Amino acid sequence: MAAVVERFDGGVCSLDSDLMSPRLATPPPDHQHQNNPLLGLPIVAIETVLNFMSYDEISLLRAVSKRMDIICQRILNQGFLRVERYHSLCQRQVKAQLPRRESERRNHSLARHADILAAVETRLSLLNMTFMKYVDSSLCCFIPGKVIDEIYRVLRYVNSTRAPQRAHEVLQELRDISSMAMEYFDEKIVPILKKRLPGADLSGRLMGSAPVAGSSTSLTTMSLLAKNTPSRSEMTKVQQQVKVNGASVSALRREVQEVRVKQLEQQKQLQDQEQKLLEQTQVIGEQNARLAELEHKLRELMDTGAGMASRTGAKPGAGAAAASAGCGAAASSSLAGSAALGRGRTSPVTPSACAARN
């Protein structure tokens, strides 16, 4: 039998009846962090100190102790919610400066900003679907703190840069680490958390998967139903699970609504493109009509010029023919006169004289 005595320094020790050697008792849980001055501080002070660190470093501090694990889980969950609010604020500011027409947004200076923020929104929705179901059930926290740091880096880069790089260049690191985090969580951690989900054991019992203990096998259906009737605690777990499922369904509805909005925007963009195509077709038709009219006018001008040239070329030829005919008649009359008068002297008619007469 062991006796408990009080030491001279105020501690508590136990004396074993066999060995009679003093042995220190286990310190109470309230005083187990007295040797660590940081863990002895209030939670608010510890959170204030940890806020000066990155979320990746905070996620690594979870292995220090249980109290540090609880504090770090709270900070990581709050960090993910804060980065979602910060992203929505940045997206509202950028959309307020963009024009309403989709065709004008492509050539705007904030077009790349909007593309990057849209890609970050997709990543946040995927992370929310992967982690927050289990975070809301208090089964785990938002584990990848490095993803939060990378999202903050991208958002600050978008806010501080007037001409950012392309979206795939800026988001390459975020896509890599977020994809690895989600794959690891789905493959390694989710199977363990599913066993701890409220209502997981209850569903198996209600389906009758567990055998009924006992030697008698002639139990009636009523007795089976009586034994499988859930208690109040189990019903509370089922209600909590229903709430979690309702939250996930609401998140899926929001995503479906966002997809519908994007589809409507794309349809509107296609209508704008079709309208532009019709306008371009009309302009091309008008240009073709003008071109045909100009070709017709050009042909008329060419025909008119050719007719005028032919007319101006026919008049000199007719005058020359008439002049030569007159000269021939004059020459024949002079020859006839000389023959009638006999051998009288007559002046010969030369072509120059004919030209002078004319």
Q: Are residues 139 and 184 in the same domain?
A: yes
Domain final position from 149, 183, 207? 207
Tokens 């995503």, residue? Answer: 255
Q: Are residues 111 and 50 in the same domain?
A: yes
Residue 227 lies in a domain: no
Q: Are residues 112 and 17 in the same domain?
A: no
Q: Are residues 128 and 94 in the same domain?
A: yes
Closest CA to 274 of 102, 105, 95: 102
Residue 47 lies in a domain: yes
Q: Are residues 146 and 12 in the same domain?
A: no
Q: Are residues 56 and 122 in the same domain?
A: yes
Please give the Cα distance from 306 to 135 (Å, whole number): 93
Residue 339 lies in a domain: no
Q: Are residues 143 and 113 in the same domain?
A: yes
Residue 305 lies in a domain: no
- pLDDT tens across the length of the chain (358 residues): 344 444 434 444 443 434 333 333 344 444 455 567 777 888 888 888 888 999 999 999 999 888 889 999 999 999 999 999 999 999 898 888 888 877 677 778 788 888 899 999 999 999 999 998 889 888 899 999 999 999 999 999 998 888 888 888 889 999 999 999 999 999 999 988 888 876 655 444 444 444 444 444 443 444 444 444 556 666 777 777 888 888 888 888 888 988 988 888 898 889 889 989 999 999 999 999 999 999 999 999 998 888 888 888 644 444 444 444 444 544 455 444 444 444 444 444 444 444 444 4
Residue 334 lies in a domain: no
Residue 4: domain span = 1-27
Residue 306 lies in a domain: no
Q: Are residues 7 and 85 in the same domain?
A: no
Is the CB of residue 25 less than 8 Å from the CB of residue 13?
A: yes
Residue 164 structure tokens: 């950012």
Q: Are residues 148 and 57 in the same domain?
A: yes
Q: How many structural domains are present in the chain?
A: 3
Q: Are residues 264 and 164 in the same domain?
A: no
> How many CB atoms are closer than 10 A to CB 119?
17
Q: Are residues 165 and 195 in the same domain?
A: yes
Residue 155 lies in a domain: yes
Angle at CA of residue 273, ends 269 and 277, nearest 5°: 170
Residue 325 lies in a domain: no
124 Cβ contact list (under 8 Å, min separation 6) = 83, 84, 87, 151
Q: Are residues 91 and 120 in the same domain?
A: yes
Burial of 281 (0-12, 13-18, 19+ CB in 10 A): exposed
C-alpha distances (whole Å) from 281 to each of 10, 288, 299 are 98, 11, 27
Is the CB of residue 10 less than 8 Å from the CB of residue 2?
A: no
